[in-house]
Structure 1
Amino acid sequence: MDIANEKILENPINQFMSWHADAAEAGVHEPDAAVVSSVDDDGYPSSRFILVRKIDDEGFLFFTNYNSDKATSFSRTPKVSLTFGWFLLHRQVRILGEIEKATIEESDDYFKSRPRGHQLGAWASPQSQIIDNRDVLVSKYEEISRQFKNKEVPRPENWGGYRVRPSLIEFWQGQPDRLHDRFRFRKVENKWKAHRLAP
């Protein structure tokens, strides 16, 4: 797709939603998947895939274990990047922003919407901790299953959401002639400013 003459939307969140819809319609596997990158204890970049569950003008919302390695890195340095790659469409979106915990209500509401097995798994897994073998997880899962048998599974206090509030969003569209299209939106004084970049 050549976007040289296509009108780019003034609000990058709306532009993102348009591309996200294109990815879903095209059959991209897990269009909500993104790489979130942070900085570890030794100053190294640390990246992993997550699934973004909500996107709006407030930012990009995902959920995880608050005791995980990534959560520790978020607490220490609350600035991250998100990268979406929709390779079927030759598109990438790169996002920089500050990260913060979601509200308790947001975390509770999303947890309630999860399948029961996922809820039990959130209790059973000591994420990022060393375990002897898989049997440890299975045994803990079975224990939690018995504990909450015929009961609603509450959200663990160490599990919840994070929101990335973007300050920069860059759209990349690949082209056969390698003259790729790049548009960067940067937030300045609470307003988005867009520029085309050379590839």
Structure 2
Amino acid sequence: MTTLPAHALQLRGVWLRLGHEVILRGVDLDVAPGEGVTLLGENGAGKTTLLRLLASSLRPTRGEGRVMGFDLRDSRSVRDFVHLMPVDAGLYPDLTCAENLDFALRMHGQRGDVAAALGRVGLGPAAGRRGRFLSAGMRKRLALARASLLRRPVTLVDEPFANLDAAGRALVQELLGELRDGGVTLVVAAHEPALAQQVAPRTLTLAGGQLAEA
């Protein structure tokens, strides 16, 4: 039986400087395994940057962090547990929808039903269409299918409701809710708190480089 760490995500006194700009200022954070967190903040507040740091794509300038018990600076270990769904979907434009999902599974040494995942998000007929020819909404749906297939223990989602109609937003809530129900730790950066909080009820606000409970 696998023992979960006390915290899925933990930051202590984290500062982050990019160039001459200080983005994070002494940030502390504790997120329990399976918890859902909605991250709010104005445009430019640093929400995306914080998600990238938690995914180990950025290293803190000062301070310490752990993800599923692993030091945040140990990128290889952290990335075994984390999936980041960026606002631009992060797809490979020359791969088809099906190939994008198959590649993601192989990169993580996983297996999954790609056809079923595409069908679930309404992209079954577009399985053979290359990523560069998808609309913004279709790219978002494909990224959602990838996150659902991978089911990483920590899933970080940047603006999942952008470029989606009402049906698409309901689908986001449904699939992210299923991840939470399966024990996945979610951090959702969004400008639609009422939608995000239904699957990630704890709310934090990032302002002036600091995190606070909302």
Q: Tell me the TM-score normalised to structure 2 length.
A: 0.26
Which is richer in strand?
1
Max radius of gyration: which structure?
A: 1
Which is richer in helix?
2
Q: Tell me the TM-score normalised to structure 1 length.
A: 0.27
Using CA pairs under 8 Å that are at least 6 residues apart, name the structure with larger relative contact order, 1 or 2. Answer: 2
